[in-house]
């Protein structure tokens, strides 16, 4: 991942001979759904395009790393079409429950799907989706813009989550656009930006909800067929395609939620329109990372009842899956398979959480019962640490089950306590997964990388006050070192 900044980018670039890589393979499939699912739109004409971040590693995965910065701004600041791709951006239509209140007036209000292409190596279909690219038919009197601070926060969130092994969208680009925005939740006027994310699909639970609301079971069938053909081809021969799709989405979504819990991450806004059908975490607004274990910790100041608090995230995800199942039940459908799929969530999530905790601890799996017991012991140990033991250092100290590192860390006095005896015993009997990772220089440090709110605010203060991007760039470099160390 690299971050390159320019004083400014040209407003127009001749792209007839754009040097895309040989690994660039456009595959624009979204138009196959037809006009009932998306509207053609145009990007705003921004006063300037100033490149603030480009994710070179993500760009290489889809054959776009060979673009120079001028071409980059033309595509991801001005949204000139990519070769062989969507000729016109598409703003998707969807509905959704927002804090469990149904809203039929949603849709891509400040973004659109800009391109679709195949990922090198995996052959997955990936989307380029925007945030802050201007108004659409679904903006609801909004300006369709993104604050630069919001863009900076999302870049940091995706970098941290990727380092922790969470299935997340990748931030591909952040371009400052030279406008002053008025916002109620931060000092105004504030600077503007447009962000591009690289994601494994933007079809949301709310996409299905819209068709259910319109009483169009035929369109739900169309969506099911599109999802299976495009993202779940292994289900092509399923006798009950709706139940098979729901089961697959439950598996991936449970894994995503488990990843959040192991990362100590609070998404903040788990509405149905923020859940996609590929089980990938995306769209980071008022997120937070836990300073310490606290099931009641909330990310959004407006979540006054704690509906989406840290400890309630699995419940929120399951509730959203129930709404999806209700959409799939429309029409002449045998509902037994859908009910069975929903009933599997508890066991699927339990196993996914155990796997996510073992991954974070760098320990090999044994049996389902033993793995669940170890994961539960880790959560209890984090609770025992109370206000003293921070979330991320715990996983850092005990990585690969290395008691030697943990018991010589700055937090050894906590681990020596009798309350940690159960965890020490369980982890001491386990086998490390790729213990050679501990040879990375990252693990020689006293403390790991964290991304707590005070650090995010300090990074933004330097940018907003002095246009000083050094802390932002330094943090991304540090997170890349952490990602590489965890995933050697």
Is 479 among the domain residues?
no
DSSP 29-57: -GGGG-TTSEEE------S--EEEEE-HH
- Residue with the larger pLDDT of the pair 108 and 6: 108
Query: Which residues contact residue 16 at a Cβ distance below 8 angstroms, ignoring those fewer than 6 apart?
Result: none
Q: Which domain holds residue 236?
A: 207-289+301-353
Of 18-22, 42-46, 123-127, 204-208, the least confident: 18-22
Return the residue matching tokens 């951006």.
89
Say yes or no: 128 and 274 in one domain. Answer: no
Q: How far apart are CA 60 and CA 406, in angstroms?
A: 37
- pLDDT for the residue numbered 218: 96
Is 488 among the domain residues?
no
List pLDDT tens digits, range 235-260. 999 999 999 999 999 999 999 999 99
Is 60 among the domain residues?
yes
Quick one: pLDDT band at residue 386, thresholds 50, 70, 90?
Answer: confident
Mean pLDDT, the chain, integer? 94
- pLDDT for the residue numbered 19: 65
Say yes or no: 89 and 151 in one domain. Answer: yes
Say yes or no: 189 and 221 in one domain. Answer: no
- pLDDT for the residue numbered 185: 81
- pLDDT for the residue numbered 387: 80
List pLDDT tens digits, range 147-202. 999 999 999 999 999 999 999 999 999 999 999 999 988 888 999 999 999 999 99
Q: How far apart are CA 448 and CA 446, in angstroms?
A: 7
- Residue with the larger pLDDT of the pair 53 and 2: 53
List pLDDT tens digits, range 337-370. 999 999 999 999 999 999 999 999 999 999 999 9
Say yes or no: 214 and 182 in one domain. Answer: no
Say yes or no: 180 and 283 in one domain. Answer: no
Say yes or no: 112 and 146 in one domain. Answer: yes
Mean local confidence (pLDDT), 218-228: 97
- pLDDT for the residue numbered 385: 77
Percent of the chain with pLDDT over 90: 92
Is 382 among the domain residues?
no
Beta strands in 200-319 (DSSP E): 265-266, 288-289
Q: Using alpha carbons only, what angle is made at residue 432 by residues 436 and 443, rounded to the nearest 5 degrees?
A: 50
- pLDDT for the residue numbered 5: 43
Of 313-322, 383-392, 404-413, the least confident: 383-392
DSSP 125-193: EEEEEEESS---TT-TT----EEHHHHHHHHHHHHHHHHTT--B-EEEEEEEEEEEE--SSS-SSEEEE
List pLDDT tens digits, range 251-285. 999 999 999 999 999 999 999 999 999 999 999 99
Query: Using an 8 Å Cβ cutoff, are 134 and 353 in contact?
Result: no
Say yes or no: 266 and 140 in one domain. Answer: no
List pLDDT tens digits, range 75-92. 999 999 999 999 999 999
Q: How many domains are contained in the chain? A: 2
Say yes or no: 58 and 159 in one domain. Answer: yes
Quick one: pLDDT band at residue 1, thresholds 50, 70, 90?
Answer: very low
Is 7 among the domain residues?
no
Is 412 among the domain residues?
no
Say yes or no: 212 and 153 in one domain. Answer: no
Say yes or no: 262 and 311 in one domain. Answer: yes
List pLDDT tens digits, range 429-485. 999 999 999 999 999 999 999 999 999 999 999 999 999 999 999 999 999 999 999
Quick one: pLDDT band at residue 18, thresholds 50, 70, 90?
Answer: low
Query: Using an 8 Å Cβ cutoff, are 308 and 257 in contact?
Result: no
For 111, what's the count of Cα atoms within 13 Å in the CB-facing half-sphere? 20
Please, what is the angle between helix 313-328 and helix 205-213, to 10°? 40
Quick one: pLDDT band at residue 15, thresholds 50, 70, 90?
Answer: very low
- pLDDT for the residue numbered 117: 98
Name the domain boundary from 187, 202, 217.
202
Query: Which residues contact residue 184 at a Cβ distance below 8 angstroms, ignoring those fewer than 6 apart?
Result: none
What is this structure's pTM? 0.94
Mean local confidence (pLDDT), 212-233: 97
- pLDDT for the residue numbered 329: 97
Name the domain boundary from 331, 353, 375.
353
Catalytic residues, by residue number, are: 273
- pLDDT for the residue numbered 184: 86
pLDDT of residue 32 exceeding 80:
yes
Name the domain boundary from 353, 373, 396.
353
Is 70 among the domain residues?
yes
pLDDT of residue 7 exceeding 50:
no
Say yes or no: 220 and 260 in one domain. Answer: yes
Say yes or no: 316 and 226 in one domain. Answer: yes
Is 101 among the domain residues?
yes
């Amino acid at each position: 991942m690299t971050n390159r900044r320019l004083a400014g980018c040209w407003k127009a670039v001749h792209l007839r001979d754009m040097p895309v890589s040989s690994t660039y393979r456009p595959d624009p499939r979204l138009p196959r759904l037809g006009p009932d699912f998306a509207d053609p739109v145009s990007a705003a004409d921004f006063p300037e395009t100033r490149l603030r971040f480009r994710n070179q590693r993500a760009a290489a995965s889809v054959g776009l790393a060979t673009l120079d910065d001028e071409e980059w701004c033309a595509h991801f600041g001005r949204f000139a079409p990519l070769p062989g791709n969507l000729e016109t951006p598409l703003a998707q239509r969807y509905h959704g429950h927002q804090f469990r209140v149904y809203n039929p007036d949603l849709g891509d209000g400040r973004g659109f799907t800009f391109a679709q292409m195949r990922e090198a190596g995996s052959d997955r279909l990936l989307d380029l989706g925007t945030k802050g690219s201007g108004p659409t038919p679904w903006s609801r009197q909004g300006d369709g813009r993104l604050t630069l601070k919001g863009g900076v926060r999302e870049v940091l969130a995706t970098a941290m989550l990727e380092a922790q092994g969470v299935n997340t969208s990748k931030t591909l680009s952040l371009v400052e656009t030279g406008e002053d925005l008025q916002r109620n939740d931060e000092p105004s006027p504030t600077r503007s930006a447009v962000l591009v994310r690289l994601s494994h699909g933007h079809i949301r639970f709310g996409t299905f909800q819209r068709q259910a609301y319109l009483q169009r079971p035929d369109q739900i069938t169309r969506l099911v067929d599109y999802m299976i053909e495009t993202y779940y081809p292994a289900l092509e021969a399923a006798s009950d395609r709706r139940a098979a799709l729901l089961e697959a989405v439950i598996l991936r979504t449970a894994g995503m939620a488990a990843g959040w819990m192991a990362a100590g991450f609070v998404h903040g806004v788990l509405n149905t329109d923020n859940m996609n059908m590929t089980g990938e975490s995306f769209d980071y607004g008022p997120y937070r990372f836990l300073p310490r274990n606290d099931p009641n910790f909330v990310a959004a100041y407006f979540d006054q009842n704690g509906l989406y608090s840290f400890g309630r995230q699995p419940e929120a995800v399951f509730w959203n899956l129930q709404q999806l199942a209700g959409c799939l039940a429309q029409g002449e459908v045998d509902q037994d398979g859908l009910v069975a799929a929903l009933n599997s969530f508890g066991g699927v999530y339990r196993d996914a959480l155990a796997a996510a905790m073992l991954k974070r601890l760098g320990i090999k799996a044994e049996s389902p019962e033993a793995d669940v017991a170890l994961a539960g012991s880790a959560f209890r140990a984090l609770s025992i640490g109370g206000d003293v033991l921070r979330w991320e250092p715990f996983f850092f100290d005990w990585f690969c089950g290395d008691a030697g590192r943990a018991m010589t860390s700055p937090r050894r006095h906590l681990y020596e306590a009798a309350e940690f005896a159960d965890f020490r015993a369980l982890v001491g009997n386990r086998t490390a997964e790729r213990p050679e990772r501990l040879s990375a220089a990252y693990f020689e440090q006293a403390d790991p990388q964290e991304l707590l709110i005070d650090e995010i605010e300090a990074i933004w203060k330097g940018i907003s006050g002095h246009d000083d991007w050094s802390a932002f760039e330094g943090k991304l470099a540090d997170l890349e070192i952490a990602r590489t160390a965890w995933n050697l």
